[in-house]
Amino acid sequence: MVDASYEFVVVSNRLPVDRIVDANGEVAWTQSPGGLVTALEPVMRQADGAWVGWAGAPDLELEPFEHDGIRIVPVPLSALDIERYYEGFSNDTLWPLYHDVIAQPSYHREWWERYVAVNRRFAEAAARVSGQGATVWVQDYQLQLVPRMLRELRPDLVIGFFNHIPFPNYGIYSQLPWRQQIVEGLLGADVVGFQRVADAGNFQRAVRRVLGYKTHSTSIEVPAIGEQPARHVIAKAFPISIDSASFEALAARPEVRERAAQIRHDLGDPATILLGVDRLDYTKGIRHRLKAFGELLAERRVAVEDVSLVQVASPSRERVAAYMQLRDEIELTVGRINGDYATITHPAITYLHHGYPREEMAALYLAADVMLVTALRDGMNLVAKEYVAARSDEDGVLVLSEFAGAADELKQALLVNPHDIEGLKDTVMAAIEMPRAERRRRMRALRRRVRENDVAHWSQLFLAELAGVGRS
């Protein structure tokens, strides 16, 4: 049992640290990469914070510990928990459903039962470490039942929830057999945050249709339930961002710039480098991107000596069948296009199925003339913002799907419907042929937006809203 003494508690599926075991069996912990950790780290230190989450491996029974000034509270998951709660319900039921059923969701009662059990485990862990009247911020779709469970355990707490992925319209959401339980779970929070205004609106419509509660603007009227008094829950958009200053500084390093020049040279110094950077996921539109590029080559609108596509597809959920099939399809497509159009000195597509450190990513962004973000559905897409932050030269063109959350903010990108292959091809050509003066004008506007709305600004806005609820 841990003392309930922390004033600010973050609850997420994964801890903000990675467990490293060396050749001698010695265990060490390193901070995980990612904007969420960067945004919340100073808040947690200032507010005496604890972070509740899973350590990333099955059957690890770990005591809470301190890491770099933050209390780390591990929640154990068994192999069966991972299979049913994480790979099953979270990533084979909720993920495809919330991304507009691009892939068919699977509905299994045993997955749901495990999701409930694991959410309860997270809620109980958070309740144990939270001080009287503490603020608890729950993160993402894996833990949508935690707010209500936590409120029942600790009605004194101020509870926030942020959904990092889209929330679908009611016609899609209504397919979920447990639609009522999820909505009730989220309404345990005082503030429910979403990436886009449309997502918040979809959630409010689900509340009205499933529970019949009244909504007005960003407020939802939750009636008294049992011993719980009537409440107002805020549901609104808080678009997430990146640590733009640190990414800009990283891209300015001489060794990163030298690496960018080396990448161009290694690719045969083409006139234009197109770049895609994604998790290998069916929501990211990688197949559409490859199809469009293959057709541009076939129609001789571009030639491999002049234009090269680099596609980074980092491994993702490799034990889920839909992802295994997707990898096979993409690799077959890449092989076919390269077989048809590549030369000994000029590849058509350089396909990289592994992750890279931030330094290498910054170099790739600097090397790329055109960034292709063609997601079929995306909560935000931080890669688009990273590309913009890296381009202190005020050059480069961002081609951005209108179905990514980032499209609401980055309006100086070339917006595209990735399902429209002809439109996608024309937009890629417009990016390749864009005059330098227009490239600079657009990039300056994009950079101003990313700099003003960085990840620290995002967390400040959300926590200010939550603090206002706590004082009311």
Average pLDDT, the chain: 94
The residue type found at 425 is K
At which residue do the structure tokens 């949508």 appear? 144
Residue 471 has pLDDT above 70, yes or no: no
Tell whether the model's pLDDT for residue 209 goes beyond 70: yes
pLDDT at position 440 is 98
DSSP 230: P
Residue 35 pLDDT more than 80? no
pLDDT number for residue 1: 44
- For 94-113, how does the pLDDT look when each residue is reduced to its tens digit (9 = 90+)? 999 999 999 999 999 999 99
Q: Which of 145, 157, 155 is nearest to 224 (CA)?
A: 155
- Which domains, ranges and CATH numbers included, belong to the chain? 6-240+456-471 (3.40.50.2000), 244-452 (3.40.50.2000)
Mean pLDDT, rounded, for 13-19: 90
The CA R_g of the chain, rounded to the nearest whole Å, is: 23
Per residue in 386-399, pLDDT (tens digit) is: 999 999 999 999 99
Name the phi and psi angles at 235, rounded to 5: -130, 110
Confidence bin at 19 (pLDDT 50/70/90) = confident
Taking the alpha carbons of 358, 453, 102, 348 in that order, is the dihedral positive or negative? Answer: negative
Q: Closest Cα to residue 398, out of 376, 383, 413?
A: 413
Sign of the CA dihedral 308, 309, 314, 315? negative
pLDDT of residue 62 exceeding 50, the answer is yes
| Confidence (pTM) | 0.94
pLDDT for the residue 458 = 93
Q: How far are the Cα atoms of 43, 210, 394, 435, 459 from residue 11, in angstroms, in the given order?
A: 14, 26, 38, 47, 15
Q: Could you report the per-residue pLDDT of 317-341, keeping only the tens digit for each?
A: 777 788 888 999 999 999 999 999 9
Following DSSP, what letter does each residue of 338-391 receive, concatenated? HHHH--SS--SEEEE-S---HHHHHHHHHH-SEEEE--SSBS--HHHHHHHHH-
467, with CB counted inside 10 A (0-12, 13-18, 19+), is middle
List pLDDT tens digits, range 388-433: 999 999 999 999 999 999 999 999 999 999 999 999 999 999 999 9
Q: How far is CA 179 from CA 203, 440, 448, in A?
A: 11, 47, 40
| pLDDT tens track for 108-129 | 999 999 999 999 999 999 999 9
Distances (CA, A) of 51 to 13, 61, 70, 73: 10, 16, 7, 6
> How far apart, in whole angstroms, are the C-alpha atoms of residue 196 and residue 237?
5
Residue 187 is predicted with a pLDDT of: 98
